[in-house]
Amino acid sequence: MPGRLEGRIAIVTGGADGIGRAISELFAREGAHVCIADRNKELGTKAVADISGDGGSVHFVPTDIADAASIKAMVAATCTRFGEPNILINNAGYITFTDDPVEATPETWRDIFQVNLEGMWECSRAVIPFMRNAKKGSIVNLGSVHSFQIVTGHFPYAVTKHGVIGLTRSLAVEYGRDNVRVNALCPGMVETPTALRGWAATGDPEGIRKAVGETHPLGRNASPEEMAYPALFLASDESSFMTGQSLIVDGGRSAFYSD
């Protein structure tokens, strides 16, 4: 039986690790040709070896999402290797927290916006012309539960994630007539390697892991694979009448009130 993305050409930014790696693996299993766009060459090379070893069609392009020229080169390499992309997963991003917003430096503000929002737009801008020409395409932007809820001490990360929703809705409206769909996937806490390293640095990784998990009504954190399947739904024709929406996959966290 053909996969749910058979013959599609997908770019996954930040695809060498965490949620992006899980998405890259699943999309390849579902028949897509996958370009992993990531700045970590070691992890990118390993991801290609692992996924291709399982029979997947995958290619790694070292990419700096904060650099528009790097993004354009990555998209050009994808076209050369596989053809014009019709799926984009804007997953790359990072987290930085400032306890007091007025103490955030201009560099902190600029750097996180350059990756989490501007880089997402530059990737979208690079692939949308191909999707418009083909009259078919799906873009999935990674938001967060922080796209809807403000938690103290998470500035300016939460600001960028609110911006992701605005970008998603704007592009969906602008390009819907071209059958280019744009949606956001908004996770709660996911146990990525980055999260695990952060908890390890506290000296009580299991205690922090348990405490964070208990903020979700399901009583636990998500695995990266639990984000890959919703991303697959948004990228595939199964969501063909869905655009401009935010799919919240957060274990019930955004429905839970805590004072």
Q: Is 78 helix (H, G, I), strand (E, B) or coil?
A: helix
User: Which listed residue (94, 157, 175, 257) is catalytic?
Assistant: 157
> Model confidence over 39-85: pLDDT tens digits?
999 999 999 999 999 999 999 999 999 999 999 999 999 999 999 99
- The mean pLDDT value for 202-212 works out to 93
Residue predicted with more confidence, 154 or 111: 111
Average pLDDT, the chain: 95
Q: State the virtual CA torsion across 245, 255, 210, 100 in degrees, nearest 10.
A: 80
Q: What are the sequence ranges of the domains in the chain? A: 9-187+223-246, 192-221
User: Which of the listed CATH numbers 3.40.50.720, 3.50.50.60, 3.40.605.10, 3.40.50.300 matches domain 9-187+223-246?
Assistant: 3.40.50.720
Judge whether 157 counts as a catalytic residue. yes
Percent of the residues in the chain that have a pLDDT greater than 90, as a whole number: 87
Structure tokens at 180: 């280019």
Tell me the pLDDT tens digit for each residue of 54-67.
999 999 999 999 99
pLDDT for 95-137, tens place per residue? 887 888 999 899 999 999 999 999 999 999 999 999 999 999 9
Mean pLDDT, range 186-212, rounded to an integer: 93
DSSP H helical segments within 40-136, as ranges? 41-53, 68-81, 106-113, 119-134
Q: Which pairing describes strands 246-249 and 33-38: parallel, antiparallel, or unpaired? A: unpaired
Residue with tokens 């009580």: 204
Residue 250 has pLDDT above 90, yes or no: yes
The residue with greater pLDDT, 2 or 29, is: 29
Residue 259 pLDDT > 70, yes or no?
Answer: no
pTM of the full structure: 0.95
